[in-house]
Structure 1
């Protein structure tokens, strides 16, 4: 829903900015029109990302299709860079030597004001959702948006934030141009909007590349999952744990465990499968692979404390926020 709201807002804003750019001959308005059309196109890629990433796993993709969401989001980020940043910067450079005045600046201000309201509504939706999820994870809103595996939410958040800042830059550039009579300020506004888009695009490209290459979970999530495993009465200890994101809010868990009791090999294998199925019943777990620990391997310490999870209750509730954590690091250590 967040992406759809952003798409509809961007289409309406892009049409209004294009008309205003034609009427006013403002370089900043041209940059803003390019910005909104690029954002509208990118929302289509984000919708595809959501749809592709939600596909169920099959024989050819045993870990699911979640990483395709990162790929489509990466394409959207490149769209911001090429269709938004480069066009805005190049157009601004071309207009640096122009002395053409902005025609009917009131029209530009009206369109920018309407665009600010529409973009603000979309951004507010993204902020509300991000703040709620961040609060559930005990994180700040900014840290959550930067580190979350929810790539479409991050893209909408930063695209809308950049849109609001770009509108202020465009409005200020036109105002300075009108006050001083120097057309260079309008061109500078276009260049600044392009630089802003380039910064956002590079940030989004970097985050999506990190998840495509393969990103394991944060130490906090690792500890919480480890404690959750130990809450299962069937598991006596854990000697190895690897958690990796294989899609937005989708985890691949590999663990070596020591089962309680001393059963026959056939019964132990069956219990392992039962525990795996229990873990995979959690809505954020794509696949879980368990194997038996070797006797001489040391047990992992996950800091069992007052915040330790009740694993069985978590599985019954299916509460995704109990296991998903936005933080990521380069790898899990054995």
Structure 2
């Protein structure tokens, strides 16, 4: 029903993404420990920024695991629309953590290094740690990229478009954080190399600030995306047309006069429609037909709840 340009319907492979988050978490712990040790031994501002970045990512993976677990709970009397929006709440926490523990710390340390430079040494250790981190972070990013490419291929859309506009906040967060991690490593390497070649602490400090700015931008984008889905993200016109056409093609609905679609979680929609059934039937038979159509819609993995009402004769049909 809801497979369209906006979002693919959930697939059976989706629970495996938690394994990707677990893998990213384990790698981040190892990388964070290595970066912290290197930062203490080298005194590099860029390494301090990178260690803060990795610790922020480590905490964020925990939030994302919580987001997936809580949002997957089935709906109950207390939450008739399910718990899908939990994913956006916990992903919002992760984005704020990236902003405060990653961006703010990196920028402040870079400014401090500019004002009161500290001696640095053992650059070889810093390069070894950065290289190992690049391999580990790259492995995690490639797995997230494969996930995003698969979803984008199903929809016939660009990977970046899929990542930015999908209702799947976990995919977006992991992809963005791993991409930012690789870019941060490149900035840190450039800053440390420039410091070694020039002997000036300024490039290293600037590298730390740039890493912080990068993390801040990523965090703001993630916060904004989660905010939109929390307050009610509008579906695309393509998705509305796709749902309406499939609704009319798969049932005895003659026309649709009203259609409301709202995301209530990652790849989960709440559907309300006013329809006109084909033929003239007794009231009791019409009610049974509507209930049967609703149950059929709710069996689809992309529909959390469907509510159908009868359209009046004077209501115009929606143009689909």
TM-score relative to the length of structure 1? 0.89
Q: Which residue of 1 aligns with 2:180?
A: 162
Residue number in structure 1 paired with 2:190? 172
Match of 1:115 in 2: 133
2:47 matches 1:29? yes
Structure 2 residue 211 is the aligned partner of structure 1 residue 193: yes
**Contact between 1:130 and 1:141, CA under 8 Å: does it hold in 2?**
yes
Q: What pairs up with 1:292-331 in 2 under 5 angstroms?
A: 292-302=310-320
- The Cα RMSD (Å) is 0.9
- 1:329 aligned residue: none
CA distance in structure 2 between the aligned counterparts of 1:279 and 1:100, rounded to whole angstroms: 64
Residue pair 2:28, 2:55 contacting (<8 A) in 1 also: yes
Given that 1:2 and 1:153 are in contact with CA atoms closer than 8 Å, whether structure 2 keeps it comes out as no
Paired residues for 1:242-281 under 5 Å:
242-281=260-299
Higher mean displacement: 95-104 or 44-53: 95-104
Structure with larger RCO (C-alpha < 8 A, sep 6+) = 2
Could you tell me which residue of structure 2 aligns to residue 127 of structure 1?
Answer: 145
**In the TM superposition, what is the alpha-carbon distance from 1:301 to its structure 2 partner?**
2.2
1:267 CA displacement: 1.2
Contact 1:21 1:30 in 2 (8 A): yes
Which residue number corresponds to residue 305 of structure 2?
Answer: 287
Secondary structure at the counterpart of residue 253 of structure 1: strand
For residue 65 of structure 1, what is the aligned residue in structure 2?
83
CA distance in 2, matches of 1:276, 1:193: 50
Cα 1:185–1:98 change in 2 (3 A) is farther
- State the shift of 1:53 in Å: 0.5
- Pairing 1:92–2:110 present: yes
Of the three residues 122, 134, 139, the one matched with 1:104 is 122
Q: Distance in 1 between matches of 2:208 and 2:237?
A: 43
> Aligned partners of 2:278 and 2:20: how far apart in 1?
46
Q: Does 1:232 align with 2:250?
A: yes
CA distance in 2, matches of 1:271, 1:207: 38
**Separation (CA, whole Å) in 1 of partners of 2:248 and 2:302:** 18
Query: 1:284, CA displacement in angstroms?
Result: 1.1
Q: For the residues of structure 2 that align with 1:233 and 1:80, how far apart are their CA atoms? A: 47
CA distance in 2, matches of 1:100, 1:151: 40
Counterpart contact for 2:107–2:209, Cα < 8 Å = yes
Structure 1 runs (4+) deviating above 4 angstroms are none
Instruction: Return the alpha-carbon distance in structure 2 between the equivalents of residues 180 and 257 of structure 1.
Output: 73
Deviations 1:302-333 (A, max 9, x none): 2xxxxxxxxxxxxxxxxxxxxxxxxxxxxxxx
Distance 1:229 1:129 in 2: 29
Structure 2: tracts of 5 or more residues without a match: 1-18
Is the contact made by 1:99 and 1:182 (CA closer than 8 Å) also made in structure 2? no
1:215 counterpart SS class: coil
Cα distance, 1:264 vs structure 2: 1.1
Structure 1 residues 226 and 41 mapped into 2: Cα distance closer, same or farther (>3 Å)?
same
CA distance in 1, matches of 2:182, 2:101: 18
